[in-house]
Amino acid sequence: MLDFFTIFSKGGIVLWCFQGTGVTESFTGPVNALIRSVILQERSGNNSYSHDALSLKYKLDNEFELVFVVGFQKILTLTYVDKFIDDVQLHFRDRYKNELEQKGALALLNSHFAFEDDFKMLLREAEESSKARGPTSMRSFNASLKSQKTVKSMIETKGGDKGKEQGGKKNKNELHILIKSCLVVQGMQLSSMKGDLLAVDYESSEGEEEEEEEEEEDAGAFGGMFGMLKGLVGSKSLSQEDMEPVLDKMRDHLIAKNVAAEIASQLCDSVAKKLEGKVMGTFTTVASTVKGALQDSLVQILQPKRRVDILRDVLEARSQRRPFVITFCGVNGVGKSTNLAKISFWLIENGFTVLIAACDTFRAGAVEQLRTHQRRLNSLHPPQDHGGRPIVQLYEKGYGKDAAGIAMEAIAYARNQAFDVVLVDTAGRMQDNTPLMTALAKLIAVNMPDLVLFVGEALVGNEAVDQLVKFNQALADHSMSDKPRLIDGIVLTKFDTIDDKVGAAISMTYITGQPIVFVGTGQTYNDLRSLNARAVVGALMKA
Ligand SMILES: Nc1nc2c(ncn2[C@@H]2O[C@H](COP(=O)(O)OP(=O)(O)O)[C@@H](O)[C@H]2O)c(=O)[nH]1
Ligand SMILES: [Mg+2]
């Protein structure tokens, strides 16, 4: 019934695996997808994941740094799997405690885990107990009374079950599954926007001081808040109860920083799952362990999963003699047109020609706003510097026309006139307005832009989730292909107005799994940045 079961270390060494009879497909694909999109992305709050036709369930053993994954066909409702995976975990730890306690990956590599027979025995037990439990056919009243009895007696035997045994008390070599990379802030002049964008930074003038301050805060704000827990815990493994008060505080803290409530909860649940059973060092507190894990997770969420290098992609498109097309979408007044103009400026500074397609044919003044930007940009980079040709042009057909059609004409025009980039401005729309959302989906499906950017304000809290989910849903629902174009990236605007309430950055990346490509930090052409994950997480963790 099971397709596969695998046990691997968090460092990535497969210790043991089982493949169901008649299953030919390799399970590496689904397991890799699980690691990539759930375990590494802090979505491990609930224990299941589906991949194509498969259902995957998994369990983390944080003390021995192991991951247990079972896969089965989605159409099967296997009620015993949750208990089964627990049983396998307990059995495996009991049996191989010594090997697992020897530190390091080498010990795991050299050990031989002959687990097949035990596994089969456990599986048989699980399957049989589920058969005994599941009603097979309609019963008469009497018969059902009888069956209730059996259920009862079963529950009683279950009560005497083995408890969770906490084995070794050694400090572990940290086998970090998370790949961390540090974004380097590049020294660039503010006035010139050549090359990659500057990263947003917090209190850039304070620089290193900030780090020290943070250390102090460990002891100060959080240490103070959870000071009562200090000293109570030596080298002991973390339990859900230990973490509960800390996690509650963290959740409230994240929400106060504007992270959507639902996402703050999911993150905290996921951190709890990741830490449960982990053995702490003697001098660490629950608060600092949880805080550290949460901080790592937040950085991980903000790190782009995909390479987004627009300058390079534009060059590539240019070599194929086609324009690179970016569509901007989002609700009203978030800053689509303004940031489109800033991005135009950045592209122009990097030597590209830009065609702006005025596809907001709805809001009065939208076309004029873009025309003003076009004039200004051309006066900053006069045509005489570029062989007499305006470096940025506006493609517009006035108001009330079909936006998808205008975008298509603009792209064709750009191709003829050898523009490097087409930036498509669209009308703002509320995520609940079905006709307008359908129109946006059509515009994207018909024109197949290279990049679909969602523009969102950094001011939003819970609303961010709703907007993004519904925009993505609309794009998926109204697309004509099986692989619909969804949002590829995010422009986070008005970042200058939110002080340290930077939670929207987390909510938006967590929901879409897509990177924040640009950050708008004001109303001038220079106010465009890239995201610095560490700076944002620093602001987020600050008390
Ligand atoms: N402070 C600040 N204001 C911004 C930013 N981006 C846009 N705005 C302002 O937000 C308002 C709406 O912008 P607009 O581009 O017209 O929004 P659209 O309806 O999405 O096209 C304008 O007053 C902009 O100046 C930003 O990054 N920071
Ligand atoms: Mg606009």
CA of 449 to the centre of ligand 1 (A): 23
- Residue 261 CA to residue 455 CA, distance in Å, equals 21
CA of 364 to the centre of ligand 2 (A): 10
CA of 139 to the centre of ligand 2 (A): 66
- Residue 165 CA to residue 138 CA, distance in Å, equals 40
The minimum-distance atom of ligand 1 relative to the CA of 520 is 27
* 519 vs 10: which has the higher pLDDT: 519
For residue 340 and ligand 1, the question of a CB distance below 6 A is answered with: no
User: Does residue 139 surpass a pLDDT of 60?
Assistant: no
Strand partners, 423: 326, 356
For residue 523 and ligand 1, the question of a CB distance below 6 A is answered with: yes
Torsion of CA 362, 365, 369, 370, to 10 degrees: 40
Token couple for 272 = 């709890």
Span 413-444, pLDDT tens digits: 999 999 999 999 999 999 999 999 999 999 99
In the prediction, which pLDDT does 507 show? 95
Least distant ligand from the CA of 360:
2
Q: What is the rounded end-to-end Cα distance, in angstroms, of the chain?
A: 50
In the prediction, which pLDDT does 487 show? 95
Least distant ligand from the CA of 493:
1
pLDDT-derived band of residue 128, with 50, 70 and 90 as boundaries?
A: confident
Torsion sign over Cα 532, 534, 537, 539: negative
pLDDT-derived band of residue 233, with 50, 70 and 90 as boundaries?
A: very low
Of 66, 515, 73, residue with least CA distance to 304: 515
User: Does residue 216 surpass a pLDDT of 90?
Assistant: no
Query: DSSP characters for 71-100?
Result: EEETT---TTHHHHHHHHHHHHHHHHHHHH
Q: Quick one: 221 exposed, middle or buried, by C-beta within 10 A (0-12, 13-18, 19+)?
A: middle
* Nearest CA residue ID for atom 14, ligand 1: 335
User: Does residue 173 surpass a pLDDT of 60?
Assistant: no
What is the pLDDT averaged over residues 221-237? Answer: 52
Provide the residue count of the chain.
543
User: Does residue 208 surpass a pLDDT of 70?
Assistant: no
* Nearest CA residue ID for atom 25, ligand 1: 523
For residue 496 and ligand 1, the question of a CB distance below 6 A is answered with: yes
What is the pLDDT averaged over residues 531-536? Answer: 91
**Could you tell me the strand order of the sheet in which 392-395 lies?**
392-395, 354-359, 421-426, 324-329, 451-457, 489-493, 516-520, 528-529
CA of 382 to the centre of ligand 2 (A): 25
Of 523, 496, 507, 499, residue with least CA distance to 466: 507
In the prediction, which pLDDT does 166 show? 38
In the prediction, which pLDDT does 407 show? 97
| Amino acid code (one letter) for 73 | Q
CA of 335 to the centre of ligand 1 (A): 4
CA of 167 to the centre of ligand 1 (A): 57
For residue 339 and ligand 1, the question of a CB distance below 6 A is answered with: yes
pLDDT-derived band of residue 248, with 50, 70 and 90 as boundaries?
A: very high
User: Does residue 150 surpass a pLDDT of 50?
Assistant: no
Span 316-368, pLDDT tens digits: 999 999 999 999 999 999 999 999 999 999 999 999 999 999 999 999 999 99
Least distant ligand from the CA of 454:
1
Span 278-292, pLDDT tens digits: 887 777 788 999 999
- Residue 475 CA to residue 453 CA, distance in Å, equals 12
240-256 and 261-275 helices, crossing angle to 10°: 150
Torsion of CA 101, 104, 106, 107, to 10 degrees: -10
Of the listed ranges 70-74, 250-254, 345-349, 451-455, the one predicted with least confidence:
70-74
Mean per-residue pLDDT over the chain, rounded: 82
For residue 526 and ligand 1, the question of a CB distance below 6 A is answered with: no
The minimum-distance atom of ligand 1 relative to the CA of 334 is 20
User: Does residue 204 surpass a pLDDT of 60?
Assistant: no
* 190 vs 285: which has the higher pLDDT: 285
What is the pLDDT averaged over residues 121-125? Answer: 91
Q: Are 216 and 288 in contact (CB under 8 A)?
A: no
Of 337, 309, 382, residue with least CA distance to 520: 337
The minimum-distance atom of ligand 1 relative to the CA of 333 is 19
- Residue 70 CA to residue 175 CA, distance in Å, equals 22
- Residue 396 CA to residue 416 CA, distance in Å, equals 16
Coil, helix or strand for 69?
strand
- Residue 34 CA to residue 40 CA, distance in Å, equals 9
The minimum-distance atom of ligand 1 relative to the CA of 341 is 15
pLDDT-derived band of residue 192, with 50, 70 and 90 as boundaries?
A: low
Token couple for 211 = 């780090």
| CA atoms in the 13 A half-sphere facing the CB of 237 | 19
Q: Are 290 and 495 in contact (CB under 8 A)?
A: no
Contacts 24+ apart (CB under 8 A), 132-137: 133/79, 134/79
For residue 365 and ligand 1, the question of a CB distance below 6 A is answered with: no
* 169 vs 242: which has the higher pLDDT: 242
Task: Mark residue 22 as left, alpha or beta (left: phi above 0; alpha: psi -120 to 50; beta: remaining).
Answer: left
User: Does residue 159 surpass a pLDDT of 50?
Assistant: no
The minimum-distance atom of ligand 1 relative to the CA of 338 is 15
User: Does residue 482 surpass a pLDDT of 80?
Assistant: no
User: Does residue 215 surpass a pLDDT of 50?
Assistant: no
What is the pLDDT averaged over residues 204-223? Answer: 42
Q: Among all chains, which residue has been given the structure tokens 């499906």?
A: 445
CA of 18 to the centre of ligand 1 (A): 56
User: Does residue 209 surpass a pLDDT of 60?
Assistant: no
CA of 342 to the centre of ligand 1 (A): 11
For residue 493 and ligand 1, the question of a CB distance below 6 A is answered with: yes
For residue 431 and ligand 1, the question of a CB distance below 6 A is answered with: no
For residue 332 and ligand 1, the question of a CB distance below 6 A is answered with: yes
What does the DSSP 8-state code read for residue 418? Answer: T
Token couple for 45 = 């709050």
Percentage of the residues of the chain whose pLDDT score is greater than 90: 53
What is the pLDDT averaged over residues 463-488? Answer: 89
CA of 365 to the centre of ligand 1 (A): 14
Q: Among all chains, which residue has been given the structure tokens 């605007």?
A: 493
**Could you tell me the strand order of the sheet in which 14-19 lies?**
14-19, 2-9, 66-73, 54-61, 48-51
- Residue 380 CA to residue 330 CA, distance in Å, equals 28
CA of 282 to the centre of ligand 1 (A): 51
Number of H helices, E strands in the chain: 18, 13
CA of 426 to the centre of ligand 2 (A): 7
For residue 235 and ligand 1, the question of a CB distance below 6 A is answered with: no
Of the listed ranges 39-43, 114-118, 396-400, 425-429, the one predicted with least confidence:
39-43
Interacting residues of 437 by C-beta distance below 8 A, sequence separation 6+: 429, 431, 470, 471, 474, 478
Ligand 1 pocket test, candidate residues 200, 329, 338, 491, most atoms within 8 A of CB: 338
Of 501, 500, 512, residue with least CA distance to 470: 512
Q: What is the 3-state secondary structure (H, E, C) of 359-385?
A: ECCCCCCHHHHHHHHHHHHHHHCCHHH
| CA atoms in the 13 A half-sphere facing the CB of 273 | 23
Distances (CA, A) of 88 to 68, 83, 165, 319: 8, 9, 13, 55
The minimum-distance atom of ligand 1 relative to the CA of 328 is 20
For residue 426 and ligand 1, the question of a CB distance below 6 A is answered with: no
Token couple for 459 = 């001011």
CA of 361 to the centre of ligand 2 (A): 10
Distances (CA, A) of 392 to 330, 346, 363, 388, 494: 23, 12, 22, 12, 25
For residue 522 and ligand 1, the question of a CB distance below 6 A is answered with: yes
Token couple for 227 = 């000071």
pLDDT-derived band of residue 236, with 50, 70 and 90 as boundaries?
A: confident
Span 89-119, pLDDT tens digits: 999 988 888 888 876 677 777 778 889 999 9
Of 87, 96, 75, residue with least CA distance to 5: 87
Of 395, 402, 396, 401, residue with least CA distance to 417: 395
For residue 524 and ligand 1, the question of a CB distance below 6 A is answered with: no
In the prediction, which pLDDT does 322 show? 97
CA of 347 to the centre of ligand 1 (A): 19
Token couple for 412 = 């064709």
